[in-house]
Structure 1
Amino acid sequence: MEFDWGYFVSLFSMADFWKACVTVICLSALAWLLGMVLGFFLATAKLSTLAWLRVPASLYIWFFRSIPLLVLVVFVYNLPQLFPASGALLSQPFYSGLLALVVTEAAYMAEIHRGGLISVLKGQREAGRALGIGPIGLQRLIVIPQAFRISLPTLINEYITVVKLTSLVSVISLTELLTVGQRLYAQNFLVMETLAAVGAYYVLIVTVFGWALQWLERGLDLNRRTPAALGDVEVARLRSTLPAAALRPAQVPTRGAAPALQLRGLHKRYGNHEVLKGIDLSVASGEVISIIGPSGSGKTSLIRTINGLESIDRGEIVLFGESYINAGEHPNSGRVRQGIRRIGMVFQNFNLFPHRTLVDNITLAPRYHGEPAGLSESRALALLDKVGLLAHARKYPQQLSGGQQQRVAIARAMAMVPDVMLFDEPTSALDPELVGEVLKVIRDLANEGMTLIIVTHEMEFALSISDRVIFMEHGTVAFDGSPTALRSDPAAQRVRRFVGLEEQAPVELSQPALASGH
């Protein structure tokens, strides 16, 4: 039997098929969108530390990924037999099919979203917390935009799957493409021609909407966003419009003799390993302190406790004479978040927000905290000018070198007008030739009277800039003194060896070793 091409072509002018196309598009689009939203909440719940959220979400995902969609479609359509009140809605095949598709797709999309959420680097969340952004703002402004970009290719593929799955709803007599085709070939027995046309309609829908979603994916692709640097004329124009007040200095507190920061008996452990063993430290306003020491001595853990990125097991942190963090205090408490806004943090790995331009990176936190958009942008441009990057204001972080990114990170922290700045090994992730440009910015801040606490391996820089040098070893402060005292104090011999100011004593070989030639 020959293929009837005339009949096949005639099916593309049939109104019933085009109406069925509209049904498929509406059903698949609604199922995809609703499933995507519900799936996101399921993914968030599954990642929660709260068992009462995590366990039900995990069970939902496990159960509905295990049930065949065809079984679920028939079950939902007959659900009014158990719950007559649902009959008005679920007796309609479209809504029964939609509910079954949404319930199923939410389980699959939850895993897609979960993959996107866990792919967002931990440092992104920490950078947001260090800027005083709350949990909801953190998700809305930082995590979800990045996770969505990561998940989008798989979500697009899932839409194509949903379009094809709509054919299963034909079992409950929804007038979609397969149902129309079945009715036709039951009358004329032209099965091959009719199913070929049904397949062509599905290909058309998938192709058109696939292109549209891929266009969206390309639009969100950060690698395609490569704005050029501003020209000299535009930079000069921008610089001339910046008000002098845009770069206001840190608000040095007038609280008598109260230190800027006091650490009282800080203890911190990870499991059985105690990394901080009763740290006591006082930092005066305007003082520059460098924290040095061998790897694993607790330097980074100490600085991360100061702005709430790590909890403390015992002790207290006092900020300008007021209790700021106590042992066991929740990092999202109002008092802690208020204190965090007075403490700027610059990370080892920059932790800039890749989906935002440099200006947006700097204005994000001030605007979140209620600062007018015009003022925050003026300050952002002034800060970029201060760190020598005004010409790159409209670029994205991935377009910059490591040294440039770290300077932007410093500008972002300064936009909050902090009273204290923390630097966690700010040059360790940089190539040697890029270190100098970052250290110059830090030195300028020190010369302006900013209170700085710097964890660093740049020993020469630490000795040249610091009022005091803190040497940590085995979770304790082994030395606390000025660079002059470090060079002369007999008790600082270990520190001098560490920073290279004193030669290591030569190792004397025993006679047997000499005799053996080893």
Structure 2
Amino acid sequence: MELNWTYFFSLFSMAMFWRAVVTVVELGTLSWLIGLGLGFGVASAELSSLTVLRYVAKVYVWFFRSVPLLVLLVFVFNMPQIFPSAGPLLAIPFISGLISLVLTETAYMAEIHRGGLISVSKGQREAGRALGLGFLGIQARIVVPQAFRISLPTLVNEYVTVIKLTSLVSVISLPELLMTGQRLYSQNFLVMETLLAVAVYYVLIVSVFGAAFHWLERRLDLQRRQPSTLDDSRCAQLRASLATPALVHASGPEPGAPLALEMCNITKRYGEHTVLDDIHLRVAAGDVICLIGPSGSGKTSLIRTINALEPIQTGEIILFGESYLKAGDNPHDRSVRAGVRRIGMVFQNFNLFPHLTVLDNILMAPHYHRAADPAQMRDVALGLLDKVGLLAHAYKYPHQLSGGQQQRVAIARALALQPDIMLFDEPTSALDPELVGDVLKVIQSLAKEGMTMLIVTHEMEFALNISDRVVFMEGGHLKLDVSPEVLRSQPNPNEILQRVRKFMGLSSAADSTGGQA
């Protein structure tokens, strides 16, 4: 039996089918959008530190992924038999279908969102905390934009699935595409022609919205964006319009001023393992202190406790004479975050925000904290980029820069909040040897301007040349805290000084000096 092609094509001019298309698009899109929002909430609950929230979310996802949608549709539509007061609402097939689809989609969306959220590296959140952003600020400005880009292909696929699942709503007599087709072929018995037309309508809907989502994916794909480098004339114009900022506003400590930083009786443990044991460290304003020592000695843990990235088990940290952080303090407290804003942090692996341009990376924290007028903040950010030699790259994305350039952007980002203290966690260890020099020059310029700095480094010659004090750590203890001059020339050194000289590759020179003495 041949298909009735005349009848088949006539189905595309029937108003009832186009009304059914509108119903499918409305039902599918609303279910997808509401499920998208609610699913994010459920995913956040799944990742919450609160046990009750976490388990409630997991049970929700487990249950609604397990119940067939068809069963859920019939149950919701007939719920007025149990709760008569719900009758006026649930008797409307569109409402019952929407509720059923949302309940199901929320569970699936939650898992998609959870996959996107856990794909955003821990370093991104830590960079936000180091800039003084609160939990919601980190989520909204850093985590969610990245997670959405990661999840978008799967979310698009879920939209297609929702559109097709709307056909199941025909069991509760909603006049969507399949129900409309069923009514027609029950009258004329032209089953194949009618179902083929229904299939074409679904393909049309999916194709149109799929093309729109594909355009969105391309727009959000940072890898497709071409590097935007400013030419020399444009850079010159920008420089002429900027008041070039000093990297540091304070040239040194005032007489009688309190210490910039005091670490008193600091102990840090990971489980039963003690990584910092009764640390006492005093840092005057303008001091440059290099922390050295073997791997695992606690250097990185020490500077991470200073800006509340790691909790401490005992002790207190005092910032410019005021108590800033004690054992047991919540790092998200407003008072702690106010202290964090005074402490800039440069990470070993840069931790730039990949979804933002170089300029926007620098502007994020000042905008969040409303540090100044937007135009003024932009001028300061461009001035900082000029200071670190990257003005021409202001509108590039981090992945379009070399490692050394990314680290210099990270330094400019930390300086944008005009911190009083800068922390550097092995700023050159992730760089190729030829890129190290550019980063070290920027740090040296900070030292010359009087910035208070604590630097974890394995660059021993750099540590000797730039620092006022070299602190040697081992086994979670501060073993030695001396000036570079003592390391270079102290006659008749004690045992620990000899060990540090050997660690820094100064043993031969030190022995020679000691022998001459």
State the TM-score bracket (shorter-chain normalisation): over 0.9
- Counterpart position of 1:17: 17
- Counterpart position of 2:515: none
- Counterpart position of 1:501: 506
Contact between 2:251 and 2:451, CA under 8 Å: does it hold in 1?
Answer: no
SS where residue 157 of structure 2 aligns? helix
Distance 1:250 1:198, change over 3 A: farther
Aligned mates of 1:245, 1:395 — CA distance in 2? 22
Contact between 1:421 and 1:450, CA under 8 Å: does it hold in 2?
Answer: yes
- Counterpart position of 1:419: 420
SS where residue 315 of structure 1 aligns? strand
- Counterpart position of 1:205: 205
Aligned mates of 2:465, 2:406 — CA distance in 1? 24
Aligned mates of 2:130, 2:239 — CA distance in 1? 29
The more displaced of 158-167 and 83-92 is: 83-92
1:102-501 equivalences in 2 (<5 Å): 102-244=102-244, 249-250=249-250, 254=254, 256-370=256-370, 371-489=372-490, 490-491=493-494, 492-501=497-506
Distance 1:176 1:251, change over 3 A: farther
Aligned mates of 1:55, 1:191 — CA distance in 2? 48
Two-structure CA RMSD over aligned residues (Å): 1.3
Q: For 1:366-420, what per-residue CA distance to the aligned partner results, in whole angstroms no more than 9, with x for missing partners?
A: 1100132111110000000000000111111110000000000000000000000
Letter in 1 for 2:223: N
Letter in 1 for 2:503: F
SS where residue 262 of structure 1 aligns? strand
How big is the shift at 1:247?
6.0
How big is the shift at 1:226?
2.2
TM-score normalized with structure 1 length: 0.96
SS where residue 163 of structure 1 aligns? helix
- Counterpart position of 1:511: none
Q: For 1:51-106, what per-residue CA distance to the aligned partner results, in whole angstroms no more than 9, with x for missing partners?
A: 12111111101110000000001111111122222222111000100000000000
Aligned mates of 2:248, 2:425 — CA distance in 1? 24
SS where residue 6 of structure 1 aligns? helix
How big is the shift at 1:503?
5.3
SS where residue 350 of structure 1 aligns? coil
Residue 58, structure 1, aligned to residue 63, structure 2? no
Contact between 1:251 and 1:418, CA under 8 Å: does it hold in 2?
Answer: no
Aligned mates of 2:149, 2:293 — CA distance in 1? 40
Contact between 1:250 and 1:418, CA under 8 Å: does it hold in 2?
Answer: no
Contact between 1:260 and 1:283, CA under 8 Å: does it hold in 2?
Answer: yes
How big is the shift at 1:30?
0.3
Q: For 1:155-181, what per-residue CA distance to the aligned partner results, in whole angstroms no more than 9, with x for missing partners?
A: 000000000000000000000000011
Aligned mates of 2:283, 2:450 — CA distance in 1? 13
- Counterpart position of 1:514: none
Contact between 2:253 and 2:286, CA under 8 Å: does it hold in 1?
Answer: no
Q: For 1:180-225, what per-residue CA distance to the aligned partner results, in whole angstroms no more than 9, with x for missing partners?
A: 1101110111111110010000000000000101111111111122
Aligned mates of 2:311, 2:252 — CA distance in 1? 27
Which blocks of at least 5 consecutive residues in structure 2 are unaligned?
510-517
Letter in 1 for 2:83: F
Aligned mates of 1:372, 1:51 — CA distance in 2? 42
Q: For 1:287-344, what per-residue CA distance to the aligned partner results, in whole angstroms no more than 9, with x for missing partners?
A: 0000000000000000100000000001111101111110111101122111100000
How big is the shift at 1:246?
7.7
SS where residue 349 of structure 1 aligns? coil
Q: For 1:461-498, what per-residue CA distance to the aligned partner results, in whole angstroms no more than 9, with x for missing partners?
A: 00110000000000001110001112344120010111
Letter in 2 for 1:379: V
- Counterpart position of 1:3: 3
Which blocks of at least 5 consecutive residues in structure 1 are unaligned?
505-518
- How many residues of Structure 1 are paired with residues of Structure 2 in the alignment? 504
Aligned mates of 2:257, 2:396 — CA distance in 1? 44
Letter in 2 for 1:411: A
Aligned mates of 1:253, 1:363 — CA distance in 2? 28
Letter in 2 for 1:494: R
- Counterpart position of 1:516: none
Contact between 2:247 and 2:449, CA under 8 Å: does it hold in 1?
Answer: no
How big is the shift at 1:27?
0.4
Aligned mates of 1:206, 1:173 — CA distance in 2? 23
Letter in 1 for 2:415: M
Q: How much identity, in percent, do the aligned residues show?
A: 67
Aligned mates of 2:362, 2:272 — CA distance in 1? 39
